[in-house]
Structures are given as C-alpha cells and as structure tokens.
Amino acid sequence: MAAEREDGVKLIGLWLSPFVLRAKLALNIKGVEYENHEELNTWEKSELLLKSNPVYKKIPVLIHKGRPICESMIIVEYVDEVWSSERKQILPVNHHERAEARFWAYYIDDKVFPRLRDHVSATTQEAKEKAVMEAAAALQPLEKFFEQSSKGNSFFGGEDIGFVDIALGSFLAWITPLEKLDGIKILRDDNLPKLTTWAQHFCSHDTVKELMPDSDKMVQVVEFFRLKFSTA
Amino acid sequence: MAAEREDGVKLIGLWLSPFVLRAKLALNIKGVEYENHEELNTWEKSELLLKSNPVYKKIPVLIHKGRPICESMIIVEYVDEVWSSERKQILPVNHHERAEARFWAYYIDDKVFPRLRDHVSATTQEAKEKAVMEAAAALQPLEKFFEQSSKGNSFFGGEDIGFVDIALGSFLAWITPLEKLDGIKILRDDNLPKLTTWAQHFCSHDTVKELMPDSDKMVQVVEFFRLKFSTA
C-alpha cells in the first residue's frame, strides 16, 4: 500500500458530501491509501480545488500522479480500472451488466438526486411530503432492478458492494438524516421493501460503516442548509 | 461480420437524432453489422422502444443477444468493450485519458447539448443570437481540451475518431443546419479556430460522411420543430 502513497493519491473532498463518499468507498474497497484534502465548506473553494477542477469547481477530485480526475462516478470507474488487480471489481465483468450498472448510476444522478436535493431544500411540511413522495417514486425502478441484479444477494452488485451500490448508497448519507429530522420515511417496507433491506445491509457493511458521515451531524447540516435556503 | 448479425445486433433509432448517430458511429467504426429499426418520429414510440427502454422511452437503444442497452454514450462504451478486438479502440487505453474522455463526454451532454436545444427551439432573432453566444461559450473549454488531447492530430482521440469526437461530433448534425438556416456561425475561426477545423475533419471522415444526416433535410427538421414550438 505504501507504493500507492508514493504514487501520490490525493482526494479533494468534504466529509458531508455524498459524492465524495463515492470516491472514498471506491478507494477503500480497493485498499488504496490516499491523502485526504478536506475543503473548509461548500462555498469557500480551495486554490487546489479551483486549479484541479476549473470547469465545474466541484468536489470530489481525485489527484493521481499529479493529474486530476473529476466527477464522482468517473472517479469510481478510474479507481476500479487502475487498481484492477486489487480485491474485487466494482463494475461487473460481464459487458451487459457493466452497461446496466452505468445506466442505473446515470439514472440515480438524473432522477433520484434532484428529488433528494428538493427534500434537503424543503422548508415547509408540504414541500417535504411532496419531495418524499417523488423520491420514493424515483426509487421504484431501482426497487425492480435490485431484484434482477442482486440475484438473491444483499447488494446490487451481488454478494458485495458494486457500482450501483456506491452510486445509490452514497445518498443514504442524506436519506437517513432527512428521515430522522422530518419523521417521514422514504424507504419503507410497505413501499420499497427490497431497497429498505438493502439500505440496512449497505450501512452495516464494514467499508461503509467506517466512511458514512455521522447522521446526527448530517441532521445539523440539513438544518443549516434549510436555514440558508429559507433566508436566501 | 455475418456472425454479428447472427448474434442479433439491432439498433432502435431515428435518422435525425444526434444521439442515435453516436451509436451508429461506434458500430461503424468497429465494423459491426446491425439491423436498423427506424422509429416513425420522436413522439409516436414503437412497442419495441417502449419495451426496450421502459425507464426513459428514448432512442437510441441497442439490442444485442436479446438484451437492451440504453443511453447513447453507454452504448458507445458497450460497443467498444464487446468488439474490443476489432479495429481501433474508441476510448483511449491510458487510464487517465479514459477518465478525461468520459469527463468531456459528460460535459458535452451537461453543458453543450442544452444550449443547442435552446437554439433549435429559438424562434426569435434575439433568442437565436443568445443561444449561439451561449453555445460558443460552452464550447470554449472544449477548444482548450482539443489542443491538449489531439497532440497535433485532427481529432480529440488523436489520429482517428474517439470517444469525445463521437460525443461532440454527433451534434454537428444540428450545428451545421442551424448555421445554414439562421446564417449565424457557432464555429468560427476567430472564436473557436481549433473546433472549426476539427468539425471539417470530422465531417470529411469516411465513417462520418456515410452516416451524418443530410443537412438540407435537417434544416427542414429544425423548421418543423420551430413551428411546433411556436404554436405549442
């Protein structure tokens, strides 16, 4: 592992970001040691971040051998390819399953993430309930896909965490505190039974337990953002 | 090549779609024969399309060995992986360059496509000029990236068409007729000199020439859409 550090692996991130969590999960699954560059917050961006991701100026950025890689799922795929001989593969080996995993990761960012963002920024009870309903609706196709891809195992990737688990599981960093704060369940046995059980398995996984942001701290983050939105 | 047909390669598409063009370019570069399932238009969707892409109900869909693959750049990557021993690689081999290519393909769909869509739907002179200005601004980072990635060659991919060429070049199916119709150039020597030359190289490439929709027909398509938008 020391060799990895010498190669220079650095992650520009922030503890509260689900997108950064994706990169951390991938690095951890592959057993890659890295230097963690923690940003101050989401609005004061470091020189290193601005220089490394001049187009989007967003975290996470992975720097490897002095070259930046941007966009969370592109980082996950990069980590999977570069450290391909280490531990398990994150993307499936089968071509069709790889394409499916990429499709659902795209779907999660395209359809699930915006609903969760709405939920985080919801300040009225009505807006919160609407966001929960829409998030649950966006998760329905994933409930179906889980049955097909997990083949009776605990994860989308089968026996262990894979590409879709990382893409969706990272948002449990928001879902769990939102459920706690608002007292409305997004993942419920009567609505999304498979994803509800999957979320429990995901959060109990050793790699995830180590990296998932503390939900009480995340409750404070959501409260802070809502205060910011409501006074903006 | 006959073997490919026996394996069952079918593309659900429509001649006017830049996204379908991406899939066709990839299949053609790899020399894969396929059955073309042409949709009637963009709003009356075939049973085959609805069944094959129940989530987005959008073209293109590639069907291979009876299993659908959706989303244009995911199809391109799938074709590149499955027919990996044929002709040239579409994605670079180098890990960092692969991540970069994926990043810029993402950028094109995220930042360039919406501006071109605005341009297609623009019905006033003011809206057209604004869309052109914004499209050109969105292309500036790609102008810069071209210099770095082409290494003095004609394409983003170097000597031949690669992943980013396909992602961006497919939109020349819109850009060329829009320029013709409105008489306002998006790609100009004084503004985007490298991309202007690149576009000429791209459209002169044998594979592209064969597949690029006829620009006079595309002018009619844009006129039809604008009529639809203005009376909607």
Residues B18 and B131 in one domain: no
- pLDDT tens for each residue of B119-138: 999 989 999 999 999 999 99
As for how many domains chain B has, the answer is: 2
* Nearest-Cα residue of chain A relative to residue B74: A99
Position B3 pLDDT exceeds 50? no
A66 touching B (Cβ < 8 Å): no
Position B5 pLDDT exceeds 50? no
Residues A9 and A102 in one domain: no
Of A71, A103, A141, the CB nearest to B106: A71
Question: Could you tell me if residue A45 is inside a domain?
Answer: yes
Residues B11 and B123 in one domain: no
Contact criterion met (CB below 8 Å) for A7 and A65: yes
Measured between CA atoms, how close is B69 to chain A, in angstroms? Answer: 7
Question: Could you tell me if residue A140 is inside a domain?
Answer: yes
Best probe of the B interface among A95, A97, A102, A113, by most B CBs < 10 A, is A95
Q: What is the pLDDT of residue B232?
A: 61
Strand order across the beta sheet in which A35-38 lies: A35-38, A9-13, A61-64, A67-70
Residues A16 and A112 in one domain: no
Residues B157 and B181 in one domain: yes
Average pLDDT over residues B86-99: 91
Q: Show the domain range for A74.
A: 2-82
Burial of A35 (0-12, 13-18, 19+ CB in 10 A): exposed
Question: Could you tell me if residue B87 is inside a domain?
Answer: no
Kindly indicate the confidence band of residue B89, based on its pLDDT and cuts at 50, 70 and 90.
Answer: very high
Domain boundary among A50, A82, A114: A82
The rounded Cα B126 to chain-centroid distance in angstroms is 27
Q: What is the pLDDT of residue A86?
A: 65
Residues of chain A with pLDDT under 50: 1-6
B99 touching A (Cβ < 8 Å): yes
Contact criterion met (CB below 8 Å) for B76 and B90: yes
Give the C-alpha separation, A168 to A124, whole Å.
26
Give the C-alpha separation, A202 to A157, whole Å.
11
Contact B74 A141 (CB under 8 A): no
- pLDDT tens for each residue of A151-194: 999 999 899 999 999 999 999 999 999 999 999 999 999 999 99
Q: What is the pLDDT of residue A227?
A: 87
- pLDDT tens for each residue of B163-220: 999 999 999 999 999 999 999 999 999 999 999 999 999 999 999 999 999 999 999 9
* Interface pTM, i.e. ipTM: 0.94
- Percent of chain B surpassing pLDDT 70: 95
B74 touching A (Cβ < 8 Å): yes
> Which residue in A150, A112, A148, A151 sits closest to A132, CA to CA?
A112
Strand order across the beta sheet in which B35-38 lies: B35-38, B9-13, B61-64, B67-70
- pLDDT tens for each residue of B27-69: 999 999 999 999 999 889 999 999 999 999 999 999 999 999 9
Question: Could you tell me if residue A186 is inside a domain?
Answer: yes
Burial of B56 (0-12, 13-18, 19+ CB in 10 A): middle
Residues A167 and A136 in one domain: yes
Question: Could you tell me if residue A16 is inside a domain?
Answer: yes
Residues A146 and A60 in one domain: no
Residues A66 and A177 in one domain: no
Kindly indicate the confidence band of residue B86, based on its pLDDT and cuts at 50, 70 and 90.
Answer: low
Q: What is the pLDDT of residue B227?
A: 87
CB crowding B81-101: b at 16 or more within 10 Å, else e: ebbeeeeebbbbeebbbbbbb
Question: Could you tell me if residue A87 is inside a domain?
Answer: no
B68 strand-pairing partners: B63
Domain boundary among A82, A117, A140: A82
Residues B51 and B122 in one domain: no
Looking up residue B211, the CATH number of its domain turns out to be: 1.20.1050.10
- Please report, as a single letter, which amino acid is at residue B166: I
Q: What is the pLDDT of residue B75?
A: 98
Contact B64 A96 (CB under 8 A): yes
Domain boundary among A28, A61, A82: A82
Please write down the long-range contacts of A56-61, taking CB distance under 8 Å and 24 or more positions apart: A58/A19, A59/A12, A59/A13, A59/A14, A59/A17, A59/A19, A59/A20, A60/A11, A60/A12, A60/A13, A60/A17, A60/A19, A60/A20, A60/A22, A60/A23, A61/A11, A61/A12
Residues B154 and B209 in one domain: yes
Give the C-alpha separation, A30 to A35, whole Å.
15
Question: Could you tell me if residue B76 is inside a domain?
Answer: yes
Question: Could you tell me if residue A77 is inside a domain?
Answer: yes
Give strand ranges (E) for chain A: 9-13, 35-38, 61-64, 67-70
Looking up residue A37, the CATH number of its domain turns out to be: 3.40.30.10
Residues A135 and A215 in one domain: yes
- pLDDT tens for each residue of A36-48: 999 999 889 999 9
A96 touching B (Cβ < 8 Å): yes
DSSP B213: P
Residues A53 and A147 in one domain: no
Q: What is the pLDDT of residue B6?
A: 45
